[in-house]
Structure 1
Amino acid sequence: MKKRFYGFLLFILFFSTSIHMPVNAATTSPTTSDDSANDFMEMFEIDTYTAANPYILVSGNTATIMFTTDEDAKVSIRSGSIYVKTTDYTRDQELSINQLQETNQLILTVTTKAGVSTSYPITIKTTPEPKHKVVPRITETSLSSSRRTHS
């Protein structure tokens, strides 16, 4: 009797989930592309972002700053305990900054091969930390008398 019940239950569960699943969801494949990374970046028009107005992507307490320069340049960002810099001269700039606070006042400096430096102030805001942290509650547990072992 139990086997019949479990078989019936599995039958119902299987068909109830397949009814709600769209047919095309089961038959589609992941999207792939033969485009290069440069083509992918062009799709988002990164050329429209400059050092004065960079694209800033914030995730948690980390930010990625992206922009292009008119000529090859090195870039650095500094503020208090934060200092991040690039090592190569390039036109497409990308920097990641970790351990950011809720509000960050940073100085973005662009230095060309000719040695000309230009600085831009930028502000990055992250998601605030929760005011109340949830602390797990620890309760006392005891073994019942039947589980206790006597020495």
Structure 2
Amino acid sequence: MDGEHHDIKGSVALVTGGNRGIGRAFARALLEHGAAKVYAGVRDPAGVRDSDVVPLRLDVTDEESIRAAAAAAGDVTILISNAGVGDSGTRLLEGTLVVGVHAGFVETEMAAWVDAPKIPPESVAEQTMDALLAGRAEVLADERSRNAKAALSQPVGA
């Protein structure tokens, strides 16, 4: 185990880009695992179609938007950064377990043009929930990501 397990039941989560594709799958999985509240951080809150998810205006490329979201969602205990990467100074990350999730192609609108094997977003989300519960800091969701990780330890040119 990489770290302490993190309970999902009763937690408050924020999923950036939580209104569609893999972000929506993350939001649904968190609720199915008993999260008390799930925020969907999105540029347009009207795009959140699930009534059991709390829309939160958030543009991860805009500092003011990030500050406003952090102030509005100060109760967050789990952050799934699906729409961008925060730096170490991002208030949304303070005191939050960080899990790196790696996947090849995922069955979403973004990868619709790709003619290659894809993993369902629900599978990525469920593997991430398992990692949170077990305290693992990394998810290698499919064969493509496991192969890429293994290749990193190989000598150059191997």
What TM-score results when the alignment is normalised by the length of structure 2?
A: 0.21
Larger Rg: 1
Bigger share in strand: 1
Higher relative contact order (CA 8 A, sep 6+): 2
What TM-score results when the alignment is normalised by the length of structure 1?
A: 0.21
